[in-house]
Amino acid sequence: MASPPTKMAKLDHAPPARTTAPAALSRTPSSSSSSRRIGLASGVDRTKVRSIQLGPSKNKLALGSKPTNPHKAVDPLATLARAARAILSRPPQPTPESLQALYSLTEHVVHNGNDAAQQLYDRLRLELERAAGDLRRSLAAPVPDSAATATADGSALGVKASAHEAWIKLFDDEVGRFGDQVLLVRSVFLHLDRTYVLQSSALLSIWDLGLSLFQDSVLSDSTISSRITSATLDLVALERSGTSVPRAQLRSFLRRVRSFATPAAYAEVVIAPFLAATEAHYDVQGNAHAVELDSTTYLARAVAALRDEDERVRGVFGGAGEADLAREVERRVEGGLIRGHVEDIATKETATLCEQDRKDELATLYGLLKRVNQLGVLRAAFLAYLKTTALALVSDPAQDAHMVERLIALRHAARAFVEGPFERNEDEFGKAVNSAFESVVNTRQNKPAEMMAKYLDAKLRSGGARGLDDIMLEAVLNDVLYLFRFTQGKDIFEAFYKRDLAKRLLLNKSASFDAERSMLLKLKDECGPGFTSKLEIMFKDMDLSADVMSAFSASSASSSSGSGPSSFDLSVSVLSQGNWPTYPPFPIALPPALTAARERFRAFYVAKHSGRALSWASGLDTVTLRAHFPSSATASTSGKAGTARKELLVSLAQAVVLLLFNDPAEQGAADDGTLSLEEIGAATQLEAKELARTLQSLACGKVRVITKQPKGRDVNAGDRFAFNSDFKSDHVRIKINQIQQKETVEENKSTTERVFTDRASHLQLAIVRIMKARKTLKHQELVMEVVSQIGQRFKVEPAEIKKSIASLIDREYMGRAEDNHALYHYIA
């Protein structure tokens, strides 16, 4: 049962524990000495009250006064019963005696024994029953029509709401008055409550008795309980529709119901119907909104509904169990608005939200699905979006040049979603990003690995890293390494990366040697030292070459380059064969001065390292030429008479062709100083395709230091070429694009074919290495061992392993057991 309040006018606190009459008890207004205090006598069933004879009281009925009729004996029970009826009347009536006198009289009755106390308790019960009955009849009476005024919209719900507002005010006032009256009765009869009632486990305290009678008489009335329910539900429904309701009045009303009802009764009359109505409301809302609203509006409505319902529970219902009720309401809202509907939005709209970078809506979607433990739906939709987008980037050959850059951008966008809207949920969404890239990168065999190497070359090459500081360049390396980690064609990456690294080292085109070595360390950590051993040797060869050239420059052999117009500086890089890419022969007829310089270096090197042979890879040679152009061609830039000197950075083939124009007559030039395509080819011994590309770069590109007749972009038989005396440029150092060093389809195909050839060798070497260590091994175990070792470099199929095993058996590196063909043994 609920506890009594502490103050007579308040209903929410416990009363002060005192055995004497409290000083705070109010006194009724005193009447004139000639009149008597009377109480209402109606409603008392005197046949139910036993009459006992009480001894004379030693206490005065009122301090400092005499009995109103000294000739008539006082009946304490009747006096106290009339007083209780007067206090509980509607409205309250004056009591027969003062409250202090009534308190003293209660003490007198209780001191006369248990029978007298029980009679007094029974009479109090009768009066409380009568008061509860009067209260029930008042609350069950029809609401006057004047109270049911329509709201502004004139809706039926609005009319009902007006009637409800009038009734809950009546309920709040009447029940509040009843509580104050019961509290006052308890205060007057406190001695009975403390001395007699509380000593008997079979009796309810006066406060609890009042609550029990209220529940039995008022709340058990179906009219009243249904009014409590309908008033609560209709006002809440009106507020949900957007109409303002007297929330403070509703809160006071529900607090009053909760104070006077048992928890079970309050749950039955208020909480259970409210939860059922909430569930039904949001089931309807969810189905309607899913059809009527777009996803953005729907998500906003769902969030607003959760917020409004939480605020409503705390602002209207409140009290004990508020948190539990809030959770129950959330479950109803989630069930109606989120389950099913938001999951459908996640499945259908996640890709669009990601493409449009709508992080706020993704965060809302994530938060709603997290409430109902359905993040798996969002994860699946997010993963599907990443796979679809990445697959489109990888599978389109027309976009190969931008493949890696766009994959990196997609990964950055995906990580932004994980770290933002998805609340750094690495277990669900971080792994989804990795899973998407791992599955997509290998859908197009070998090509992504090749493009990763080329992308790195573009960034690490001088000029490619323009605008990137060391930190930004390091970030680029990490981005590519992330993609590289998932590729199964690591040997393809290695081949192309080594080829491009060789060009950067030999042509001195690396943007940062620190970045080059940083990438080397990253690859070593990722794939092991065996993967980068040849790359490390390439760097060592460049360091050793610098030492060799220092020694050569200090020797007498280098001085033979001479001085004068034909003097030049020679720089040679000595590479260890087998650790560098294989370069095809590059036939070319060098000028005598260059041929002599080569031979002097060969003699010097062989003398220092006997037993070693040198072969020249002329396809990567570069030359810096000093060219002189007539002053008329440069007057606009130099403003001086004479000739203007330029430095031309060209390939060896370009240099040999240009040197022919120093003395074209010696090459059989015509009177106009032009040389034909055939004459240049005979003098340089260049292959036809190489010669055409070289002449095209010199005569048809942006920098045209020679001219072509007839004009055109292509070089054809019979074309004639001449020195361009009208060449103009604002720059002193001019780089002429080395068309012959650009990648060709044949070069890429050759690199890939070499990788496939190497794969067979790596596979057989791995099998022999395993069998040598294990001596005897079953077929399945051997396949698993090979996949474990080779899988870090490239994906190997069981059929390829079987083919390599057969080849090794034929060559007697291993054999089969006679009694078990699935068992192999190593042949030493």
Cα–Cα distance measured from residue 310 to residue 322, given in angstroms and rounded to the nearest whole number: 10
**Alpha carbon distances (Å) from 432 to 382, 388, 408, 412, 479:** 8, 13, 16, 14, 17
Average pLDDT over residues 594-613: 87
pLDDT band at 679 (very low <50, low <70, confident <90, very high): confident
Class of domain 746-826: mainly alpha
Q: How confident is the model at residue 759 (pLDDT cuts 50, 70, 90)?
A: confident
Q: How confident is the model at residue 777 (pLDDT cuts 50, 70, 90)?
A: confident
- Inter-residue contact 684 to 656 (CB < 8 Å): yes
Does domain 46-261 fall into CATH 1.20.1310.10? yes
Q: What pLDDT is recorded for position 477?
A: 92
Query: Does residue 36 surpass a pLDDT of 60?
Result: no
**Measured between alpha carbons, how far is 694 from 736 in angstroms, rounded to an integer?**
10
pLDDT of residue 130: 93
Return the DSSP state at 461: B
Residue 757 one-letter amino acid: T
User: 31 by DSSP, 3-state: which?
Assistant: coil
CB distance 540 to 520 below 8 Å: no
683-693 pLDDT per residue, tens: 899 988 888 88
Is a pLDDT exceeding 70 seen at residue 517? yes
User: What number is the average pLDDT over the span 38-47?
Assistant: 35
Residue 584 has pLDDT above 90, yes or no: no
Topology, domain 346-532: 5 helical Cullin repeat like (1.20.1310)
Task: With a cut of 50, say whether residue 794 has pLDDT above it.
Answer: yes
Taking the C-alpha atoms of residue 177 and residue 183, their distance in angstroms, rounded to an integer, is: 10
Fold designation for 621-743: Ribosomal Protein S5; domain 2 (3.30.230)
Residue 536: how many CA atoms within 13 Å on its side-chain side? 12
Q: Is the pLDDT of residue 32 over 60?
A: no
Compute the C-alpha angle 409/413/414, nearest 5°.
115
Q: Are strands 675-676 and 706-709 parallel, antiparallel or unpaired?
A: unpaired
Using DSSP, state whether 35 is helix, strand or coil.
Answer: coil
Looking at the predicted structure, is the pLDDT value of residue 8 above 80? no
Residue bearing the bigger pLDDT, 66 or 476: 476
Report how far residue 532's alpha carbon sits from residue 540's, in angstroms, rounded to the nearest whole number. 13
pLDDT band at residue 352 under the 50/70/90 scheme:
very high
158, 238 in Cβ contact below 8 A? yes
Q: Assign 532 a pLDDT band (cuts: 50, 70, 90).
A: confident
SS3 category, 646: strand
Q: How many residues does the chain have?
A: 828
710: cis peptide before it, omega within 30°? Answer: yes
Q: Which helix (H) or strand (E) holds 414?
A: helix 403-419
| DSSP states along 117-162 | HHHHHHHHHHHHHHHHHHHHHHHHSPPPGGG----TT--HHHHHHH
User: If 0-12 CB within 10 Å is exposed, 13-18 middle and 19+ buried, where does residue 178 land?
Assistant: buried
Please, which pLDDT band fits residue 243 given cuts at 50, 70 and 90? confident
| Residue for token pair 């052999």 | 557
Confidence of residue 30 (pLDDT cuts 50, 70, 90): very low
Report which DSSP code applies to 293.
S
In 154-268, where does DSSP find H-type helix?
A: 156-188, 190-195, 206-214, 222-240, 247-260, 263-266
The answer to whether residues 555 and 570 touch, using CB atoms and an 8 Å cutoff, is no
Checking if the pLDDT of 55 tops 50, the result is no
Give the pLDDT confidence of 93-142 residue by residue, as tens digits.
888 888 898 999 999 898 988 899 999 999 999 999 999 999 999 998 88
DSSP letter (8 states) at residue 489:
B
Of 56-60, 411-415, 434-438, 545-549, which range is least confident? 56-60
Contact call for residues 107 and 59 (beta carbons, < 8 A): yes
What is the per-residue pLDDT for 126? 93
Residue 399 CA to its chain's centroid (Å):
29
